[in-house]
Amino acid sequence: MAVGRSSIIAGIAGLVIGGGAVALASGGVDTDGTDRARVEGIVKSYLLENPQIIPEAMEVLRNRDTANVVKANRTALEKPFAGAWAGAEDGDVVLVQFFDYACGFCRKSNPEIDRLIAEDKKLKVVWRELPVLGPDSQAAAELSLAAAKQGRFRQFHERLFEAGRPAPEAVAQVRQQLGVRPMPGDADAQAEMAKNFQLARSIGATGTPTFVVGDKVLQGAVGYDALKEAIGQARRRS
């Protein structure tokens, strides 16, 4: 989601000198170029005098862009694959987590997710498989989606993370304990993972865990407090 030069000018102009400047800087007003050059000159001068605002302004623009992408893909993000969800079926806020069974930071986040579900009876959590850490992750994700189809996702999810990295022996042991039937080459599972990779790219996810709450994307093991605050913000905006 790269931000182009004209978007930067328009966005920073809006932050610095108001909405009318955005229309001029972005070409939204038909002029002979004089007004546009004047606005760009004002923005350039301001930035040269106050370079510390550039990172903040860029972050604001990125967040706006991300929020628009999330809104456009909300149904795809928040609709779970079979039983890969927990909490309130019709929750007023949905927390989406992209995860990988080989991701230590995902494992670290699990108790925080469990706590949020236990405390917030209006929260729905949806898990999306994003096996980015190698063949073992891929194999674990395929079996996890089979477990979701067979009504055993949550148990599989918790036990495999408790087992540590998803080595074939650990995956086989958890599968046998829960009676999950492998579904090699399952078309639904393959389509789900392809969709998840596309969604992750669209929101600028750089790894796991990545969380989506409301219009916000949080990357990494951000912790209980940050997730709870994002849930509260989403609820207040709904």
At 130-162, the pLDDT tens digits run 999 999 999 999 999 999 999 999 999 999 999
At 48-79, the pLDDT tens digits run 787 776 666 656 556 678 899 999 999 999 99
E-assigned strand segments in the chain: 85-87, 93-99, 123-129, 210-213, 216-219
Q: Which residue type occupies 41?
A: G
pLDDT value, residue 10: 53
Give the whole-angstrom CA distance, residue 54 versus residue 79. 37
At 157-199, the pLDDT tens digits run 999 999 999 999 999 999 999 999 999 999 999 999 999 999 9
**Distance set, CA 178 to CA 80, 151, 154, 171 (Å):** 21, 10, 11, 11
Among 117, 45, 132, 57, smallest CA distance to 87 is for 117
Instruction: List the chain domain ranges.
Output: 5-71, 75-237
Which of 15-24, 74-83, 103-112, 218-227 is predicted with the least confidence, judged by mean pLDDT? 15-24
At 9-62, the pLDDT tens digits run 555 555 554 444 444 444 454 555 667 778 778 877 877 787 776 666 656 556
pLDDT value, residue 25: 44
Top CATH class of 75-237 equals: alpha beta
Can you give the pTM of this predicted structure? 0.77
